Amino acid sequence: MYLIEMRLIYGIAFLSGMNADFDDAILNGFQNWLVEEYFDEPQSFAWEVLINKIPECSTDDDTANLDAFLKVMDRYLSSLIHI
């Protein structure tokens, strides 16, 4: 993944755009997974907003936030693989 800057907002924009290009097929279910993993009650926000509400993705360090987001994304994608 190539980003202009190593900032969370660019990572979200990249994956959101890629997902839109594939008619939401890539991240279908990601919002629901985030709610189940990180929130105690239903959320009506899109995943792009919810990411910013996860403590490890909302620090003062943009690079650390991006790294945390990619780890969250990795956990989500790993949850889709059923061996």
Question: Could you report the per-residue pLDDT of 17-34, keeping only the tens digit for each?
Answer: 999 999 988 899 999 999
68 contacts: CB under 8 Å, gap ≥ 6: 54, 56, 57, 59
Mean pLDDT of the chain: 91
pLDDT confidence of residue 1: 62
Residue 63 has pLDDT above 80, yes or no: yes
| pLDDT(83) > 60 | no
pLDDT at 24: 86
Domain boundaries, the chain: 8-79
Q: What is the pLDDT of residue 6?
A: 85
